[in-house]
């Protein structure tokens, strides 16, 4: 399993844990002085592999035990929520949901020690996966259009969005890092915007001699908010109405019919706009990756609260019509 | 800076304001000579605006008089004057003005020192959008692009709580008075508390799907029997009326079951309610088939829990079922036959008042078989009689009709006593008085026929020998001819007579029946009343497989009904629900038989209830969270 280097929110830090040299590698040679190695050996251990997958084992054991109970314990009636096993599974599931939700509170309280946040996160992930077993066995596979199945469905939405979140956390940070590196080293988010500002200033200066029409084109590029675009633009990385690309294209088109002169300002602007396009492209890839890293939480968290509401309605309804 | 003479102020003053990085302003002032002045991006312009939104030569300013200036666009490109977009405008120096070109703002006023019109130029917009302040903490996130997490969490949660908690409670509250009324129904359509239903009601309760309160009468109170009894006034259990006794029969739960019972009681779910067994919301099908466990929870070891019960302990049919107790006729002579339930045994006898030899009638080699063989018109060339020649099923196919003498016996056991022309006269079966009367009438009008050669007119063989012989025969015939009808009557009712062959005839009786009494006959058409048996389900089995004695018995009082054990007994094929049978019984084609195959909870004369769709029997199981008893383990 790929180790998760670091959370995406730490994007500005220059640590780049790698997967090539995994945590178990003990490099015999100390790194040479004076030369910064990019492939540093990381002692980082992701929450998925925390303590050698302790919570994975605990959760797998729990799930296997519950499935065995479901199959082998002879119940007098159907496997229903109303059997003793059903009530037990339901209680366990409800408490588990509340505890899993508390990760949101736990992560805001920074405390060292036995129950580190990493251990908590590891347990959150694996016990959350176990919840699929607990919740589904509790239902006894009786699904219908009612509040009970609604609670189950919302639970599944939360869990599946969580699985998706783990997947993006496990795969995208490497792409994020790769995107930030070029021949000059890594670039931070702050540097990205600074470099755009610098390019814009240069373009502005270079465009002074232009005729009004060309100047208007360049002005569009300068006036464009580099962070513009809706959620779809962000998540796909496609910006079909990019003013910079439009300006560069139009200028090139206009210049193609003009005689070449030695010191044409359009040449310089063309070069600058090309650089700006490249910079924008990199920033938009960065934004795309970050959006994927964040978007699942916009499902995971709100639906969790919808789930808790549905769960409350489910529990009240069961005792109301007892 | 030199000051021009105040009397003739010519030219303009231009102040360019730039911002230091710390926000301080730097003012660079310059004086422009002449009456005219241009504004544009071109560096040759007096007011040079390095702004791409400004034309290279955008506008020209002329002096009209001391107090007024005219500003007009050079390339028909508008600009702002006091917030209005114009192409030309007269400006009053005294009143001042604010001009807007692209991202620049130019303020016009009269310089106090020199009296010249002064233009103060200030850049108000950044060179580019990117140069503006960006909140580094949020621009790289999805903030603003998607509804906030907190916001949508609250929205979703409140929506769910309203739709699935508040509305259902409201719909409960508004229809509550309808509870416990048999015919009360909520209006058709959607009611919010239906979203609470955990599954469809069974077919029988289909019309209550819309009426949660019909059963769930009180909030937070588990369904009680009074809800069931508001409709089921007549048909609630006949099995056992006393609910307390039913609970005692189940016995006190032990171990985990006791714990479950305790928890259920704590949560206000008392044991022994109808819904303990009659669970609902388990799908829209018919009522599920009854499992063996449903019965054995009480009936296995019942005596130990209910010492006064008259019911024998019963559990698995294959291994732990009490001996059958058929209802047999012990005395057929009364007004109604006297019946008695007796434990089945190998030599059990039943007195039905008839004489019959099953073995002789079914034989393939005796005279009866010969007769059957010869009467191909009637028996189709068979070599012997078969059961169905006498025993006919009733229209339902479940039981057999009583054997009728006229239909089944009379073809051979003819009651013919006289022939008139081609017509045979027969005695009336079942009416001894009529038999006697018919015989007396016959003998009143007839005697033996007198031989013709005894009259003098007949041709004779010489000599007396033949005549003497005929005379002697006739004399004997006359002597022995039952000229007295009484004699014929006595013959019919005595050994060797027509009636006596099949019926028990005892001396003593009314004169109308010749002083004899033909004993009453009773035929039993149902021996097992607490268990169900259907011949229709057994048509593939040969009759003699179960009624094994028929081939050997020559005594009508031998009971042909099979019992549980023995040759042809039910256990020859039927094993327990889970296939168990006694070691002493060898079963060739076992049929798994739960209690409900033969027994019904609500006893009547019909078949035990079974789901029509056999698949349901496997899918649904009737009982719910009933406590498990320690004894049950032994049954598995």
Who wins on pLDDT, B621 or B317?
B317
**CA distance linking residue B375 with residue B358, whole number of Å:** 20
pLDDT tens digits, B223-266? 888 888 888 776 666 556 676 777 788 888 888 888 888 888 88
In this prediction, what percent of chain B has a pLDDT beyond 70? Answer: 86
Cβ pairs bridging A and B (under 8 Å): 193
Cβ distance A298 to B142 less than 8 Å, yes or no, reads yes
Q: Is pLDDT at B623 greater than 70 in this prediction?
A: no
pLDDT of residue B159: 96
Average pLDDT, whole number, for chain B? 81
Smallest CA–CA separation between B322 and chain A, in Å? Answer: 25
**ipTM for the predicted complex:** 0.81
Smallest CA–CA separation between A299 and chain B, in Å? Answer: 8
Q: Is pLDDT at A26 greater than 70 in this prediction?
A: no
B398 touches B535 (CB < 8 A): yes
Residue in chain B nearest A306 by alpha carbon:
B157
**B157 vs A contacts (CB less than 8 Å):** 305-306, 308-309
Q: Which of A7, A11, A78, A220 to mutate to test the interface with B (most CBs of B within 10 A)?
A: A78
CATH class of B12-127: mainly beta
pLDDT of residue A293: 93
pLDDT of residue A23: 40
pLDDT of residue A20: 37
Cβ distance A305 to B139 less than 8 Å, yes or no, reads no
> Residue B561's closest CA among B572, B552, B570?
B570
pLDDT tens digits, A255-273? 888 888 878 888 889 999 9
Taking residue B447's Cβ as centre, other Cβ atoms within 10 Å add up to: 10
Q: Is pLDDT at B631 greater than 80 in this prediction?
A: no
pLDDT of residue B609: 60
Name the region of B125 (left: φ>0; alpha: ψ -120 to 50; beta: rest).
beta
pLDDT of residue A322: 81
**A305 vs B contacts (CB less than 8 Å):** 153-154, 156-157
Nearest to A317 among B127, B168, B293 (CB): B168
Handedness of CA B493, B499, B501, B504 (dihedral sign): negative
Cβ distance B131 to A234 less than 8 Å, yes or no, reads no
Q: Is A275 exposed, middle or buried (0-12, 13-18, 19+ CB in 10 A)?
A: middle
Least confident of A14-28, A135-149, B67-81, B200-214: A14-28
Question: B294: pLDDT confidence band, cut at 50, 70 and 90?
Answer: confident
Cβ distance A216 to B52 less than 8 Å, yes or no, reads yes
Q: Is pLDDT at B286 greater than 80 in this prediction?
A: no
Cβ distance B149 to A223 less than 8 Å, yes or no, reads no
Smallest CA–CA separation between B139 and chain A, in Å? Answer: 7
Nearest to A305 among B140, B157, B620 (CB): B157
> What would the two tokens of residue A198 be?
């610098």
The CA-atom distances, in angstroms, between A91 and each of A86, A105, B258, B268, B269 are 9, 22, 20, 18, 18
A110 touches A58 (CB < 8 A): no
**CA distance linking residue B512 with residue B48, whole number of Å:** 153
Residue in chain A nearest B77 by alpha carbon:
A212
Q: Which residues contact B565 (CB under 8 A, 6 or more apart)?
A: B323, B571, B585
Question: A182: pLDDT confidence band, cut at 50, 70 and 90?
Answer: confident
**B159 vs A contacts (CB less than 8 Å):** 306
The arithmetic mean of pLDDT across residues B484-503, rounded, is 81
Q: Is pLDDT at B194 greater than 80 in this prediction?
A: yes
Smallest CA–CA separation between B196 and chain A, in Å? Answer: 6
Q: Which of B41, B140, B153 to mutate to test the interface with A (most CBs of A within 10 A)?
A: B140
The arithmetic mean of pLDDT across residues A73-101, rounded, is 82
**CA distance linking residue B215 with residue B227, whole number of Å:** 5
Nearest to A84 among B77, B157, B625 (CB): B625
């009651």: which residue's tokens? B415
**B53 vs A contacts (CB less than 8 Å):** 215-216, 219
Cβ distance B128 to A222 less than 8 Å, yes or no, reads yes
**B129 vs A contacts (CB less than 8 Å):** 200, 222-226
Cβ distance A144 to B199 less than 8 Å, yes or no, reads yes
Cβ distance B139 to A150 less than 8 Å, yes or no, reads no
> What would the two tokens of residue B585 be?
């019984």
pLDDT of residue A287: 92
> What would the two tokens of residue B148 be?
């906030």
In this prediction, what percent of chain B has a pLDDT beyond 90? Answer: 11
The CA-atom distances, in angstroms, between B549 and each of B357, B372, B385, B556, B562 are 11, 22, 16, 11, 9
**A308 vs B contacts (CB less than 8 Å):** 157
The arithmetic mean of pLDDT across residues A198-203, rounded, is 91
Smallest CA–CA separation between B263 and chain A, in Å? Answer: 10
The whole-model pTM stands at 0.68
Q: Is pLDDT at A103 greater than 60 in this prediction?
A: yes
Nearest to B149 among A193, A234, A302 (CB): A302
* Partners of residue B89 on adjacent β-strands: B71
Who wins on pLDDT, B289 or A28?
B289
A321 touches B176 (CB < 8 A): no
Q: Which of A309, A316, A318 to mutate to test the interface with B (most CBs of B within 10 A)?
A: A309
Cβ distance A201 to B131 less than 8 Å, yes or no, reads yes
pLDDT of residue A277: 93
Residue in chain A nearest B200 by alpha carbon:
A144
pLDDT of residue B620: 35
Average pLDDT, whole number, for chain A? 82
pLDDT tens digits, B456-478? 655 666 677 777 777 888 777 76
Cβ distance B52 to A207 less than 8 Å, yes or no, reads yes
Cβ distance A223 to B160 less than 8 Å, yes or no, reads no
pLDDT of residue B5: 45
Q: Is B496 exposed, middle or buried (0-12, 13-18, 19+ CB in 10 A)?
A: exposed
The CA-atom distances, in angstroms, between B45 and each of A242, B54, B102, B122, B162 are 33, 12, 16, 16, 69
B84-86 and B104-110 strand pairing:
unpaired
In this prediction, what percent of chain A has a pLDDT beyond 90? Answer: 43
Smallest CA–CA separation between B24 and chain A, in Å? Answer: 21
Nearest to A212 among B55, B220, B282 (CB): B55
Cβ distance A193 to B134 less than 8 Å, yes or no, reads yes
SS3 B494: coil
**CA distance linking residue B165 with residue B170, whole number of Å:** 9
Question: B85: pLDDT confidence band, cut at 50, 70 and 90?
Answer: very high
Domain spans in chain B, listed from the N-terminal domain onward: 12-127, 408-448+475-518
* Partners of residue B122 on adjacent β-strands: B17, B105
**B222 vs A contacts (CB less than 8 Å):** 322
**B221 vs A contacts (CB less than 8 Å):** 322
B533 touches B551 (CB < 8 A): no
Question: A275: pLDDT confidence band, cut at 50, 70 and 90?
Answer: very high
pLDDT tens digits, B225-237? 888 888 877 666 6
Smallest CA–CA separation between A229 and chain B, in Å? Answer: 9
């500005």: which residue's tokens? A12
Smallest CA–CA separation between B219 and chain A, in Å? Answer: 5
pLDDT of residue A150: 95
pLDDT of residue B189: 82
Cβ distance B216 to A321 less than 8 Å, yes or no, reads yes
Nearest to B279 among A77, A225, A231 (CB): A77
Measured at the alpha carbon of residue B371, what is the angle toward residues B368 and B372, in degrees to the nearest 5? 90
Smallest CA–CA separation between A173 and chain B, in Å? Answer: 15
Cβ distance A309 to B141 less than 8 Å, yes or no, reads no
**CA distance linking residue A302 with residue A161, whole number of Å:** 11
Q: Is pLDDT at B398 greater than 60 in this prediction?
A: yes
**CA distance linking residue A67 with residue A95, whole number of Å:** 19
Measured at the alpha carbon of residue B494, what is the angle toward residues B492 and B500, in degrees to the nearest 5? 80
């Amino acid at each position: 399993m790929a180790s998760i280097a670091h959370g995406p929110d730490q994007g500005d830090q220059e640590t780049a844990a790698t997967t090539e040299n995994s945590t178990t590698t003990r490099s015999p040679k100390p790194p040479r002085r004076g030369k910064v190695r990019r492939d540093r050996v990381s002692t980082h251990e992701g929450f998925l592999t925390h303590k050698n997958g302790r919570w994975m084992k605990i959760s797998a054991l729990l799930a296997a035990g519950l499935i065995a109970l479901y199959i082998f314990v002879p119940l007098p009636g159907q496997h229903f929520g109303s059997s003793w096993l059903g009530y037990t599974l339901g209680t366990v599931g409800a408490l588990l949901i509340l505890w899993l939700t508390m990760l949101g509170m736990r992560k805001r309280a920074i405390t060292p020690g036995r129950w580190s946040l990493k251990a908590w996160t590891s347990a959150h992930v694996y016990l959350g996966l176990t919840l699929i077993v607990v919740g589904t066995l509790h239902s006894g596979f009786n699904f219908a259009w009612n509040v009970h199945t609604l609670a189950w469905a919302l639970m599944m939405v939360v869990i599946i969005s969580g699985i998706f979140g783990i997947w993006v956390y496990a795969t995208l940070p490497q792409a994020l890092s790769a995107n930030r590196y070029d021949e000059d080293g890594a670039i931070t988010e702050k540097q990205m915007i600074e470099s755009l500002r610098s390019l814009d200033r240069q373009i502005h200066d270079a465009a002074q001699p232009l005729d009004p029409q060309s100047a208007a084109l360049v002005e569009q590029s300068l006036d464009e908010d580099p962070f513009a675009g809706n959620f779809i633009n962000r998540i796909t990385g496609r910006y079909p109405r990019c003013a910079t690309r439009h300006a560069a294209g139009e200028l090139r088109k206009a210049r193609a019919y003009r005689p070449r002169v030695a010191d044409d300002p359009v040449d310089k602007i063309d070069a600058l706009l090309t650089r700006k396009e490249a910079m924008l492209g990199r920033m938009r890839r960065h934004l795309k990756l970050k959006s994927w890293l964040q978007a699942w939480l916009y499902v995971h968290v709100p639906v969790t609260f919808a789930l808790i509401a549905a769960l409350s309605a489910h529990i009240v309804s069961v005792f109301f019509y007892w | 800076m030199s000051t021009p003479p105040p009397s003739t102020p010519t030219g303009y003053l231009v102040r360019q304001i730039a911002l230091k990085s710390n926000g301080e302003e730097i003012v660079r002032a310059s004086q422009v000579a002449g009456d005219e002045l241009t504004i544009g991006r071109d560096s040759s312009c007096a007011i040079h605006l390095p702004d791409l939104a400004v034309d290279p030569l955008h506008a020209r300013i002329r002096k009209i008089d001391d107090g007024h200036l005219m500003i007009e666009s050079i390339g028909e490109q508008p600009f702002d004057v006091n917030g209005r977009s114009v192409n030309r405008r007269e400006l009053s120096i005294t009143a001042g003005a604010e001009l807007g070109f692209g991202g620049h703002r130019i303020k016009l006023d009269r310089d106090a020192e020199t009296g010249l019109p002064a233009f103060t130029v200030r850049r108000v917009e950044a060179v580019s959008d990117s140069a503006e302040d960006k909140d580094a903490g949020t621009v790289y996130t999805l903030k603003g692009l998607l509804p906030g997490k907190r916001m949508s969490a609250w929205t979703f949660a409140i929506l769910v709580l309203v739709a699935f908690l508040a509305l259902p409670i409201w719909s409960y509250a508004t229809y509550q008075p309808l509870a416990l009324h048999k015919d009360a129904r909520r209006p058709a359509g959607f009611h919010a508390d239906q979203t609470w239903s955990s599954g469809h009601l069974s077919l029988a309760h289909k019309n209550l799907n819309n009426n949660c309160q019909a059963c769930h009468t009180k909030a937070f109170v588990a369904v009680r029997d009074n809800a069931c009894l508001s409709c089921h006034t007549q048909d609630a259990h006949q099995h056992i009326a006393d609910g307390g006794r039913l609970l005692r029969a189940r016995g006190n739960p032990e171990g985990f079951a006791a714990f479950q019972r305790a928890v259920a009681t704590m949560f206000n779910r008392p044991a022994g309610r109808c819904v303990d067994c009659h669970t609902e919301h388990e799908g829209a099908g018919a009522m599920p088939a009854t499992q063996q466990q449903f019965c054995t929870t009480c009936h296995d070891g019942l005596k130990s829990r209910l010492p006064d019960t008259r019911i024998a302990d019963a559990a698995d049919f294959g291994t732990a079922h009490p001996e059958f107790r058929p209802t047999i006729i012990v005395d057929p002579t009364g007004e109604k036959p006297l019946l008695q339930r007796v434990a089945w045994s190998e030599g059990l006898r039943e007195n039905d008042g008839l004489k019959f030899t099953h073995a002789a009638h079914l034989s393939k080699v005796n005279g009866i078989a010969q007769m059957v063989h010869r009467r191909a018109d009637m028996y189709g060339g068979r070599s012997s009689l078969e059961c169905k020649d006498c025993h006919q099923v009733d229209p339902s196919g479940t039981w057999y009709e009583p054997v009728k003498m006229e239909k089944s016996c009379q073809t051979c056991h003819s009651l013919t006593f006289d022939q008139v022309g081609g017509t045979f006269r027969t005695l009336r079966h079942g009416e001894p008085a009529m038999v006697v009367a018919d015989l007396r009438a016959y003998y009143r009008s007839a005697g033996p026929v007198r031989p013709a050669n005894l009259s003098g007119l007949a041709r004779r063989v010489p000599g007396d020998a033949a005549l003497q012989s005929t005379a002697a025969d006739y004399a004997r015939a006359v002597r022995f001819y039952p000229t007295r009808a009484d004699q014929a009557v006595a013959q019919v009712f005595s050994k060797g007579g027509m009636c006596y062959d099949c019926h028990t005839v005892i001396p003593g009786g009314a004169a109308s029946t010749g002083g004899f009494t033909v004993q009453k006959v009773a035929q039993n058409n149902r021996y097992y009343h607490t268990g169900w048996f259907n011949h229709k389900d057994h048509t593939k089995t040969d009759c003699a497989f179960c009624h094994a004695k028929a081939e050997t018995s020559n005594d009508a009082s031998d009971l042909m009904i099979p019992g549980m054990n023995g040759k042809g007994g039910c256990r020859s094929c039927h094993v327990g629900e889970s296939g168990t049978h006694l070691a002493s019984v060898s079963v060739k084609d076992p049929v798994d038989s739960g209690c409900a195959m033969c027994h019904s909870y609500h006893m009547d004369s019909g078949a035990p209830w079974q789901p029509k769709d056999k698949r349901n029997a496997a899918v649904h199981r009737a009982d719910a969270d009933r406590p498990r008893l320690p004894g049950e383990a032994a049954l598995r």
